[in-house]
Structure 1
Amino acid sequence: MSKILNVQHLGKSYLSGGKSLTVLDDISFEVASGTSYAIVGPSGSGKTTLLGLCAGLDTPDTGTVALCGSHLTELDEDGRASLRNKKVGFIFQNFQLLPTLSALENVSVPLELRGTKGAANTARTLLEKVGLGDRTHHYPSQLSGGEQQRVALARAFANRPEILFADEPTGNLDEETGERVVELLFNLNKEAGTTLIIVTHDLNLARRCDGLMRLKGGRIFNSETASHP
């Protein structure tokens, strides 16, 4: 099975109060195409920073990231943006929907920007899959948190990404709503054959993945193959 993500000896530091603060130290791991992988750890362990580096949203100080067959460190900012646009999907804790667009428009606009034909029909089909077929013309402010995250799910899968990065996808949801969103996420992912990388502090969610890595203080604490319930 081919490796869609290959991270080797990754390091990242930031200046804080005039001092260098190491956020990630010598991180190495691989993720096979079509699998799911969780990155877990407490707040401040470097999870979100690592996700940003893996997705090419930021650049490391040391080490390399190969994503979808491209070495991110060899691409400039435009090259990384182009790769993300073509092959990567995102789901964020705070949904990041455009408030002035309806649910349908939030899902269809990224498709229209890529010149995809039938964008509205594709968006409508995806919204129906996540149970929002009757809320297509509602704006984010008219939707609950769970509904907004379901719109975000539909948007993330609209471009048929090869890999999907989810940063605390249930972090702003109550337990019951979060479980429903997780079910939809894994079902859509299985149907699309997408690789799924989840950053979470929720071990129950992490253990649903094919593999997981624990971060502590910017280093790998341990990694394991998850056992599914």
Structure 2
Amino acid sequence: MAKILNVHHLEKTYSSGSKKLTVLHDISFDIEERETFAIVGPSGSGKTTLLGLCAGLDRPDGGKIELCGTNLSSLTEDERAVLRNRNIGFVFQDFQLLPTLTALENVAVPLELQGAKNALQISRKLLEKVGLGDRFDHYPSQLSGGEQQRVAVARAFSNRPSILFADEPTGNLDAETGEKVIELLFELNKEHGTTLVIVTHDLELAQKTQKILRLKGGRILENSTPAV
């Protein structure tokens, strides 16, 4: 299998007044195409910062990230945005749906940005797949948390991404709803042949993936395959 993400000696430091805080220290790992991968660790361990760097949402202070065969450091802000829209799907803890758009319109946004002519048709099929075929015209405020996250999952897969980053995807959901959303995420991921990277503090969820990267204090504690 080819590598879809290569991370080499990554460093990230934030400045606060005269103080500097290094949140990631010498992080190196790689992820293969179609692999399911979890990044785990306590709050403040650098998980979300690492995800943002890997997805090209922010720039590292040291090291190199290659995503889909491209060195992210060599790209301008606009070029990174194009790469994200073509190759990356996102699912966030707080859903990040656009409140003024219906469920159908939210799912269609990435496709419309790509200029797809059949954006609404694809979006309808995806919403049906996640069990929301009767919610096309509902706005986020008219949906439960679980329904909003299912819309977000459908949106994440709408542009057929090569890699999907999920940041605490069940963080705002009760256990039962969260379990259903995760089943859906893994099911669609397998069906679409996507690489799935999940940031979570939930070890039970992490155990469902093929590889686990454990962080503590911005350093790698372990990079392993879960025991089945």
Matched residues in 1 for 2:124 and 2:58: separation? 33
Structure 2 counterparts to residues 17-166 of structure 1, below 5 A = 17-166=17-166
2:85–2:110 contact (8 Å) kept in structure 1: no
Distance apart, 1:109 and its partner CA: 2.5
Matched, 1:214 2:214: yes
Structure 1 runs of 4+ off > 4 angstroms?
Answer: none
Cα shift readout 1:133-162 (whole Å, capped 9, x = no counterpart):
011111100000000000000000000000
Q: Which residue of 2 aligns with 1:7?
A: 7
* Helix, strand or coil at the partner of 2:124: helix
TM-score normalised by the chain length of structure 1: 0.98
Supply the RMSD in Å over aligned alpha carbons.
Answer: 0.8
* Helix, strand or coil at the partner of 2:227: coil
Q: In structure 2, what residue type is equivalent to 1:28?
A: S
Distance apart, 1:17 and its partner CA: 4.0
* Helix, strand or coil at the partner of 2:89: strand
Distance apart, 1:53 and its partner CA: 0.5
Structure 2 counterparts to residues 170-209 of structure 1, below 5 A = 170-209=170-209
Q: In structure 1, what residue type is equivalent to 2:77?
A: E
1:6–1:30 contact (8 Å) kept in structure 2: yes
Identity of aligned residues (%): 70
How many residue pairs end up in the alignment? 228
Matched residues in 2 for 1:155 and 1:31: separation? 23
Distance apart, 1:16 and its partner CA: 2.1
Matched residues in 2 for 1:85 and 1:104: separation? 18
Q: In structure 2, what residue type is equivalent to 1:29?
A: F
* Helix, strand or coil at the partner of 2:110: helix
Structure 1: state its 5+ residue gaps. none
1:5–1:68 contact (8 Å) kept in structure 2: yes
* Helix, strand or coil at the partner of 2:132: coil
Distance apart, 1:172 and its partner CA: 0.4
Matched residues in 2 for 1:109 and 1:62: separation? 33
1:46–1:217 contact (8 Å) kept in structure 2: yes
2:127–2:154 contact (8 Å) kept in structure 1: yes
Cα shift readout 1:12-70 (whole Å, capped 9, x = no counterpart):
00012420001000000000001110000000000000000000100000000000000
Matched residues in 2 for 1:227 and 1:157: separation? 29
* Helix, strand or coil at the partner of 1:185: helix
Distance apart, 1:173 and its partner CA: 0.4
